[in-house]
A and B are shown apart, each in its own frame.
Chain A
Amino acid sequence: MITIIITLIGSLLFALVAPVIGCLLAGIDRIISARMQGRVGPPLLQPYYDVRKLFGKENVSVNSVEHGYVVCAFIFACVAGGIFFTGGNLLFVIFVITLSSLFFIMAAYSTRSPYAEVGAARETVQVMSYEPMIILMAIGFFMAAGSFDTKAVFALDTPVISTIWLIFLGLLFVLTIKLRKSPFDLSMSHHAHQEIVRGMTTEMSGPTLGLVEIMHWCETVLFLGWVGLFFVWGQWFSVVIAIVVVLAVYFLEIWIDNNFARVKWQFMFKSAWAVALLAGGVNIAVLAFL
């Protein structure tokens, strides 16, 4: 009962705090991307202005369920964040965030637009690509920390990165797919060089699109939280180290985003599974048998 209340309060707090952090991260992302392209770039709060504008637009949903699905996706993204940051079960976090992705895919399918359907099909392939590595990450975390609960890291003498660094590299690989950054922005792209109009969000406009953006901010914070989890142990200053690593990883993602062309889904699928098998499989085998 207490766990449920803590999770609920955590989810509510996450729904309030994560969009703020995610919005700032998105703003930094756009400025750094612009600098990498030799431009000045937008103001830091540009993502916030965009979303405020979207909420001010007329509501022209193509059907009555699309917005509902996106709201569900947003709620489950917040619940996943709430479970994770209150020290809950990592495996459960992964399942809830996957549920959120599935609701988003349903929202895209429900519009019956051919472009959105292609986008949704590709997003399904993306989920299939990154999911094995993410599940192996949870198993590796269990073997390293002795528990699926994320709060277990605070009782450790050394961070889990010291034993499952290979899994961390695998996570870095699928993180690009999860954040939908180039070269893996097949289902929808943030950039001007769009794929299949705008993929999943082709038929979403105004307030619905605004909510999609906010959900994306929350997801980014949660995924970066997974990265940080690897670097936290029993010392208080480990949290600072984790935040520094998270920012470095985010910079790396932006660099990758700006330097690689979009790949075909076949390459994404095969490489993600190969990475899961090599990084995840080898690391878990070493932990299990040595």
Chain B
Amino acid sequence: MGYASRSPWVIHYDGSSCNGCDIEVLATLCPGFDGERFGVVNTGNPKHADIFLVTGSVNEQNIDVVRQIYDQMVEPKVVVACGICACSGGVFHDCYNVIGGVDQAIPVDVYAPGCAVRPETLIDAIVAGVKVLDEKEAALKEQKRAAKKER
């Protein structure tokens, strides 16, 4: 088990969600579910975050914002699409201004469906994301080692 998986700091961004999933995301971090047992801390700063929780679909207005937050995050990083709108666009998928799920803007690692997504599903999604985080951390270490050898 790597250290990345022991302290997954999350950042939450509300794309165009109806707030149903946002409330559930915050409920996951509240005392009832206590995400901090697993080292989960809610940060407001993309540069400190490891897991990006996006709720709601991507549209013409917010696609640049989603991309910018993702770009500001430091490797290794994981994206979790929270709720069916973030996964595929949900009931809004054929609206004139909706592009689709978050995967239309940035690479998504874990999909957590639901309307609204349940805290239990979210915890499962974060646990799955943490595994991906570990793999990415190991890959990054390997890269660094290879780069050192080349020098």
Using a CB–CB distance below 8 Å, which chain A residues touch chain B? 30, 34, 37-43, 46, 49-50, 52-53, 56-58, 60, 192, 194, 197-198, 201-206, 209
Contacts and interface: CB of A to CB of B under 8 A. Distances in A.
Given A53-B4, A53-B6, A42 B29 contact: no
Nearest to A37: B31
A198 B48 contact: yes
A40 B38 CA distance: 10
B44 to A, nearest CB: 4
Interface residues of B, number: 27
Given A40-B34, A60-B74, A50 B44 contact: no
A30 B39 CA distance: 11
Contacts of B9: 50
A56 B3 contact: yes
Contacts of A34: 34, 36
Contacts of B31: 37-39
Given A198-B45, A204-B47, A205-B48, 12 more contacts: A38-B31, A39-B37, A41-B36, A42-B37, A42-B38, A50-B39, A57-B74, A57-B75, A192-B42, A192-B43, A194-B44, A197-B45
A115 B4 CA distance: 26
A30 B74 CA distance: 25
**Would you list the 7 A-B pairs with minimal beta carbon distance, nearest first?**
A52-B3, A49-B6, A205-B47, A192-B42, A58-B75, A53-B3, A198-B45
B7 A49 contact: yes
A167 B13 CA distance: 47
B73 to A, nearest CB: 9
Interface string B12-56: 000000000000000001010010111101111101101000000
Contacts of A60: 47, 74
Nearest to B10: A192
A46 B7 contact: yes
A152 B29 CA distance: 50
A198 B3 contact: no
A194 B45 contact: yes
Contact of A50 (B7, B37, B141): B7
B144 to A, nearest CB: 9
A124 to B, nearest CB: 21
A40 B34 CA distance: 7
B9 to A, nearest CB: 8
16 contacts: A41-B36, A42-B37, A42-B39, A46-B39, A50-B9, A57-B76, A58-B140, A192-B41, A192-B42, A192-B43, A194-B43, A194-B45, A198-B44, A198-B45, A201-B48, A204-B47
Given A37-B31, A53-B50, A205-B48, A58 B74 contact: yes
Contact of A42 (B4, B36, B44): B36
A43 B4 CA distance: 15
A205 B44 CA distance: 13
A48 to B, nearest CB: 9
Contacts of A57: 74-76
B3 A49 contact: yes
A60 B49 CA distance: 13
A39 B42 CA distance: 15
A203 B47 contact: yes
Contacts of A198: 43-45, 48
Interface string B127-140: 00000000001001
Contacts of A41: 34, 36-37
A58 B6 CA distance: 17
